[in-house]
Amino acid sequence: MALIDFGGTKEHVVTRKEFSLARAKKVLKKETIAVIGYGVQGPAQALNLKDNGFNVIIGQSKAFKKDWDRAKKDGWVPGKTLFDVEEAAQRGTIIKLLVSDAAQRVIWPAIKKNLNPGDALYFSHGFSIVYKDQTKVIPPEDVDVIMVAPKGSGTSVRRNFLSGSGINSSYAVFQDSTGRAEERCLALGIGVGSGYLFPTTFEQEVFSDLTGERGVLMGALAGLMEAQYDVLRKNGHSPSEAFNETVEELTQSLIRLVDENGMDWMYANCSQTAQRGALDWKPKFKKATLPVFKELYQSVKSGKETRRVLNVSKKKNYRDLLSKELETIGNSEMWQAGKAVRNLRPKNKAVQITKSTRGVSGRASN
């Protein structure tokens, strides 16, 4: 492991140089990796592993025709590399549970009865294990229980793999039955194309992940955008101007500067007027939102958030309700303006991800 200084706190991380792809393939050379679920993370992780030379099969219910058909379109062959969930679990020595958190609870009995001593049970999110009182996912003691959690959507995991950069991932060992759990875990992390891997626990991963996606990564970001857009529109600004000043400049310019060298560097490469205003208003936004984040973290830690997810997700009409919620966002003036703005962008000649290989936009937890 490499010891890296993260702002004064030193942490160990695992890089591709230290744990090479060749080593990963040697560790897993006798393993059959069964990827259960071809919805969000499944396609990206499965295809990356396959492209890296690992023995991969898919477990996907035919009842979800869209996902089954996408798997076939991506080259998985029914009866050879594509099976129903139970048969894939029977055939695999490493079972990667990549269906949604709610679905894991539903299919767990079928997975559990097909686990053999020495198998590895792999997650990309700590949800089911940490909140086992809600999910009833309690692994037998004779299997390894491991996690690799890419810090990005399935789309990004695949796109970054194809570009050669990779997505950073956290990793954890919850149960080491074979004495090889950590080695298997790291090999899988390298196999899915992680940029680097940093250690965590199942509990820490799920607390940070649920807070992050409800906060800065998705919920807070969307809420802030809507608030600023509304204020601009109510003060006479056009939809194009409001959207460009709220979203387009962030996603197409400023966030890329942050990505390259950090927030201070982004400030240094903006106008003096922008610098001064941002620095003056930043403390006010922090003061206003800090209580909300504290409330959010406690809601995650107490299990309130996961309980709500499981209760809502099990409703028979959940998919219809979700579609209506997303349609409301997509049909809003703000995001209709965004669609028009995107159509006006110059065509990007960078690597494109086809719909057949693109995961539904969502993080490891979805």
| Catalytic sites, residue numbers | 125
Q: β-pairing, 9-15 with 2-6?
A: antiparallel
User: Which helix H or strand E contains 18, and what residues bound it?
Assistant: none
Closest C-alpha among 355, 362, 366, 269 to residue 69: 355
Strands in the chain per DSSP E: 2-6, 9-15, 33-36, 56-59, 82-83, 94-97, 120-123, 144-150, 167-175, 194-199
Edge-first strand order for the sheet with 82-83 is 2-6, 9-15, 194-199, 167-175, 144-150, 120-123, 94-97, 33-36, 56-59, 82-83
Cβ-Cβ contacts under 8 Å for 269 (sequence gap 6 or more) = 257
Token digits of residue 103:
């679905």
**Phi first, then psi: what are they for 318, rounded to 5°?**
-60, -45
Give the integer Cα–Cα distance in Å for 304 and 179: 35
Structure tokens at 137: 């996912």
**Can you spell out the DSSP letters for 88-106?**
HHHH-SEEEE-S-HHHHHH
Rounded Cα distance, 366 and 360, in Å? 9
Q: Which residues sit opposite 78 in a β-bridge? A: 82
Between strands 82-83 and 56-59, the pairing is parallel
Encoded tokens for 30 = 């006798």
Residue 303 has phi, psi (to 5 degrees) of 95, 0
